[in-house]
Structure 1
Amino acid sequence: MPKVGMEPMRRAELINATLTCISMYGMDGMTLDKVADYAGCSKGVVVYYFKNKDNLTIEAYKAFLDYYGRKIESEIKPTMTAGEMLDVTLHNILTPYKDDREKQINVSPLDGIEKMYIPCEDQGRLFVQFFSKAALDRNLQEVASTSYLANLNGIAKIFDYGSRTGELAVEDSPSAAYGLLAMVIGLSFFRVANIPPMNGQDNRYICEDYVKGFTTSREDK
């Protein structure tokens, strides 16, 4: 029986270990034994908290998707313009590439959101692994649907705010949000497949140009 008060910390360690193992070995290669080894505990501890691999995978997927929402919410401030809010959103859901392989996966907010981190290459590998599995797994589909519907709602609210302040010219905020999120998901796949734009730039500029298309000029105001 785990020590009283240790459950949140232990669950967080196991989720981080699971995501690390999925990134390293793939969804099929991730096992409870490997997660236990990486977390420095027995397989029995993993089973105690998550019962089986399916439950562990679902909780790891939730934590992976929640990571982005937590980071965005922590960085968006009420004093920001709609453009600044969208910049924060894009910076987190389509992170500029950097060589940060020395850092470890941490999706737990227990030690503060500022310490939460997923290295760039791990983000891409996890994204593809979870989406590939979700194509045939109804439970993972529900996790993705819940998360992305919340994301769409949040992005649409930013477009609405920009429209009200006159910073953005948006006729249909939900559709604008849908287009942006769909673009991010597609560009994420292209990154993992190592398909750069013809000009060789980081493909996130495509999303930035999409947002700029809604920006009103001073003459329009």
Structure 2
Amino acid sequence: MPKLGMEPKRRADVINATLTCISLHGMDGMTLDKVAEYAGCSKGVVAYYYKNKDHLTIEAFKSFLAYYSLKIESEIESTMTAGEMIDVTLKHILPPYGNDTEKRINVSQLDGIEKMFIPYEDQARLFLQFFSKAVLDRNLQEVVSKSYLADLHGIAKIFDYGNTKGQMSVEDSQSAAYGLLAMVIGLSFFRVANIPPANGEDNRYICEDYVKKFIGG
């Protein structure tokens, strides 16, 4: 049994280790033994908090998706324009290309949201692993559905705010949000498959151009 008072840190270590393991070895290659090794604990500790691999996978997936919402919410300020709020959102859900391989996965809030981080390449690998499995796993589908419905609601609220403040002209905020999120998901898959735009630029400009159409009416 883990030491008294260590539960939050142990849980965080195990989730971070699980995401690291999935990124490096894939979903099928992730085992409780490997997770324990990356977390620096025994397999018994992992099993104490997460009863089996399926349970651990679902909790890790939830943490992976929650990471984006937490980062976005922590950076959006009420003084921002709607366009600036969308910029913050895109910065996290479709981040610019970057070389950050020396940093480690951390989706724990224990040391503050500002310390949470997922390296660019790990984000791409985890995205592919989780979503490919979600196609056939109803439990993972439910996690995706709940997360994306929340994302759609949040993006639509920004578009509505832009309309109210006269900063945007959006006829249907729900449809606009749906289009933007669908675009992000598609472009994310293109990134993983290494399919760049014809002009060779970072494909996130496609989302930025989409949003610009709503700004200024």
| TM-score for both structures, normalised by structure 2 | 0.99
Deviation of 1:59 after TM superposition, in Å, equals 0.1
Aligned to 2:74: 74
**Amino acid aligned to 1:195:** I
Paired residues, number: 217
Aligned to 1:34: 34
* Map 1:45-60 → 2, pairs under 5 A: 45-60=45-60
Deviation of 1:2 after TM superposition, in Å, equals 1.4
Aligned to 1:163: 163
**Amino acid aligned to 1:69:** S
Q: Measure the CA separation in 1 of the matches of 2:169 and 2:65.
A: 29
Aligned to 2:102: 102
Q: Secondary structure at the match of 2:97?
A: coil
Q: Mind listing any 5+ residue stretches in structure 1 that lack a counterpart?
A: none
**Amino acid aligned to 2:208:** E
* Map 1:1-221 → 2, pairs under 5 A: 1-216=1-216
Please give the per-residue CA displacement for 1:63-114, whole angstroms capped at 9, x wherever unaligned.
0000000000000000000000000000010000101000000000110001
Identity over aligned pairs, percent: 78
Q: Secondary structure at the match of 1:92?
A: helix
Deviation of 1:4 after TM superposition, in Å, equals 1.9
Q: Secondary structure at the match of 2:69?
A: helix
Q: Measure the CA separation in 2 of the matches of 1:4 and 1:173.
A: 49
Q: Measure the CA separation in 2 of the matches of 1:108 and 1:15.
A: 8
Aligned-residue CA RMSD in angstroms? 0.6
Deviation of 1:156 after TM superposition, in Å, equals 0.2
**Amino acid aligned to 1:66:** A
Q: Measure the CA separation in 1 of the matches of 2:120 and 2:133.
A: 20
Q: Measure the CA separation in 2 of the matches of 1:40 and 1:3.
A: 14
Displaced runs of 4+ in structure 1, greater than 3 A?
Answer: none
Q: Measure the CA separation in 1 of the matches of 2:109 and 2:157.
A: 25
Please give the per-residue CA displacement for 1:144-175, whole angstroms capped at 9, x wherever unaligned.
00000000000000000001111111010010
